[in-house]
Chain A
Amino acid sequence: MNKENVIQELQALAAEGMAEQREEASAAPVAEPAGEEEAKPKKALPPEPRRNGVLEVEYAVRGVHLDVQIKGDQVVRAAQILDEAGMTLEAITGVDWMKDQELEVVYDYSYTGGPCFRVVVRARIPRHEPTIPTVSEVFAGANWHERETFDFFGIHFEGHPQLEYLLLPEDCDFHPLLKDFKGC
């Protein structure tokens, strides 16, 4: 597995995403909110990577080697890059950033064929419309992880063959890990 190769490809992917995002932002009719959106990353918490980028972080503190943030619809491409590099998908989960009104889907990859290398891939999607493409075509193990994330956050994975409740009962109608879940 060529680490440098992987980093380069992920950087290229993230750059694509950033370019797209800038286009979208400039295409938006109202300038003020777009500017606010662009400004958001600057107000964000310091350790977070800038929007759509690849950061090499300190493994001894963070537990991962590479921290990649990309757009929601690029996750399949990122999974393919890492699959070709021989990595395995350890977990998929979500984080509810209520203040930013966004849901973050986090993918953890690791390398089992040699020296340790861990990559975390994140994608932020809007909270009112949480859909993201599924990576279960690339990694079959993502099937259950995505079902679990759907259980807890209500994130809809497009193209998933069986997006049903996995851990919660079938007749459940709430998503417990959303920050506005008040219990039942």
Chain B
Amino acid sequence: MSSQPLSQNQEYFELNLGPQHPATHGVLRVKLLMDGEYIVDAEPVLGYIHRMHELMGENRSWAQYLPNMGRLDYLSALSYNLGYVELVEKMAGIEVPERAEYIRVITTEMNRISSHLLWFGAFVLDLGGFTPLLYAFDDREQILDLLESVTGSRLTYCYYLFGGCYNDVEDDFLSGCLAFIKRMRTRLPMYHNLVTKNVILRQRLEGVGPVSAEMCRKYGATGPVLRGSGIHYDLRKNEPYSIYPELDFDVPVYPEGDSMARFMVRMDEMEQSMRIIEQAIAKIPEGPVMAEKVPKMIKPAAGDYYHAVEAARGTFAIRAVSDGKNQAYRMKLRSPTFSNLSLFQEASRGMLLADGLAFMGSLDLVIPEIDR
């Protein structure tokens, strides 16, 4: 949708929310056509961090591609790890021992909480409240320390292998997770009291950026964006994978479709993730963490395969086309934020600039995931 005819209008001026900007969370450029404070047209320009992961998938063996998964959405890297590893296990028919499944779910959910905490701090920072960022980072630091003791990395994890995990977790880690959850349960009510119930924040978010369920469907938006518009769709419940069918948790859904609904969805998801972790820690069995016979060269049957998981931002899916070799013939990565951001152009027409930025923050963008 070219803005050519609009920009001829002398009343409008072009403003470049450039690749370097405090509020765009990464290198995103948005070409804004403004009428005073109102956005007439917003066109996101992508590609500033495009590294061509899909071509890398064709040049590396299945196992060599594992570290790439952590570099896509570095904030919830373990979900991406999980999606890829489950895809290859599906293709090659590898069975994963139960303890490894439990460890995967515990670490993925801890990662989801840390991703949501960072989103929370950065979002309120965009709105002008400087302090919650540091409180959220304090909590997040504890998660990062726990996960570092198990995986060895703080951010771009590469912890799962085909057939399990490469490290077993010790009791320190599990008791550390429980201690963290206990502390977090006192912190979340504080965040709700100070931030969610703050009248200025409510004014900034309520009614801003309404996205209908139909619009989400047309654009393929998933995750908290879809759940904030009233659709009850979470891959962990609709298309269960790993051991999620055995765990009891709710999926928060808010029908209003504005930024406040998306905010509340993510805050409630943190609580639900804590429930999942507690149940998983209570049920985790003893046993091996790697499958017995994992072939060194994985040569799946020719054809194409698809696997989708629920990352922190929505449906992350991989379509892999194999021709029987040890490398993929085609590796397509479907990133959730790519589809979520594509509705920004239509949804932001006529918004105030400040509201447009609040809307972008509520979509929870991570640009390396869009650009791949």
A112-B222, A118-B306 in contact; A60/B90 too (CB < 8 A)?
Answer: yes
Q: How many residues of B sit at the interface, in one of the four size bands?
A: 35 or more
- The answer, among A47, A161, A177, for a CB contact under 8 Å with B302, is A47
- Which residues of the other chain, A, contact B217 by a CB distance below 8 angstroms? 86, 88, 112
Closest chain A residue to B342 by CB distance?
Answer: A144
Q: Please give me the residue from chain A that is nearest to B218 by CB atom.
A: A140
Nearest-neighbour CB distance to chain A for B347, whole angstroms, equals 11
**Does B199 touch A at the CB level, under 8 Å?**
no
Bound CA–CA A119/B316 (angstroms): 16
Give the Cβ gap from B358 to chain A, nearest Cβ, in Å: 22
Asked if B50 CB lies within 8 Å of chain A CBs, one says yes
**Alpha-carbon distance between A140 and B226 when the two chains are bound, in angstroms:** 16
Partner of A162 from the list B1, B218, B302 (CB cut-off 8 Å) is B1
Interface string of B286-322 (1 = CB under 8 A from A): 0000000000000001111111100000010101010
B47 to A165, Cβ gap below 8 A?
yes
Query: Do residues B220 and A89 form an inter-chain contact, with CB atoms below 8 A?
Result: yes
**Distance A32 CA – B189 CA, assembled complex (angstroms):** 76
Closest residue of chain A to B1, judged by CB?
A: A161
Is A61 positioned at the interface, with any CB of B under 8 Å from its CB? yes
> Which of B220, B303, B338 is A48 in contact with, Cβ under 8 Å?
B303
The answer to whether the Cβ of A108 comes within 8 Å of any Cβ in the partner chain is yes
A96 to B231, CA, bound (A): 36
Inter-subunit contact A167/B339 (CB<8 Å): no
Q: Is B204 part of the binding interface, using a Cβ–Cβ cutoff of 8 Å?
A: no
How many A residues touch B, CB cutoff 8 Å?
A: 41
Residues of B within 8 A of A168 (CB): 47, 50
Which residue in chain B gives the minimum CB-CB distance to A61? B90
**B306 touches which of A47, A115, A120 (Cβ 8 Å):** A120
Chain A residue numbers with a CB within 8 Å of B31 are none
Q: What's the Cα separation between A64 and B308 when bound, in Å?
A: 10
Q: Are A108 and B54 touching (Cβ within 8 A)? A: no
Q: Which residues on B sit within 8 Å (CB–CB) of A144?
A: 338-339, 342
**Cross-chain contact A91 with B332 (CB below 8 angstroms):** yes
Chain B residue contacts of A80, Cβ below 8 A = none
Give bound CA distance, A95 to B308, whole Å: 19
* A112-B233 in contact given A95-B329, A143-B342 (Cβ < 8 Å): yes
What residues of B have a CB within 8 angstroms of the CB of A61 in the complex?
A: 90, 305
Say yes or no: is A106 at the interface (Cβ < 8 Å to chain B).
yes
Interface-central residue, A60, A110, A162, by most chain B CB under 10 Å: A110
Q: What are the residues of chain B within 8 A of A130 when measuring CB–CB? A: none
Given contacts A61-B90, A112-B233, contact A45 B302 (CB under 8 A): yes
Verify A64–B231 contact, CB threshold 8 A: no
Q: Verify B303–A45 contact, CB threshold 8 A.
A: yes
| Contact string against B for A residues 15-49, beta-carbon threshold 8 Å, 1 for contact and 0 otherwise | 00000000000000000000000000000011110
Complex contact B334–A90 (CB within 8 A): yes
Q: Which residues of A contact B304 (CB under 8 A)?
A: 62, 95, 106, 120
The answer, yes or no, to whether A157 is at the interface (CB within 8 Å) is no
Mind listing 17 A-B residue pairs with CB under 8 Å? A45-B302, A63-B308, A89-B220, A90-B220, A90-B308, A95-B304, A95-B321, A95-B329, A106-B319, A108-B334, A139-B218, A141-B218, A141-B342, A144-B339, A144-B342, A177-B55, A177-B58
User: Given A112-B217, A144-B339, list of 16 further CB < 8 A pairs?
Assistant: A62-B303, A62-B306, A86-B217, A90-B220, A90-B308, A95-B321, A95-B329, A106-B332, A112-B231, A139-B219, A140-B218, A140-B219, A143-B342, A167-B50, A168-B47, A177-B55
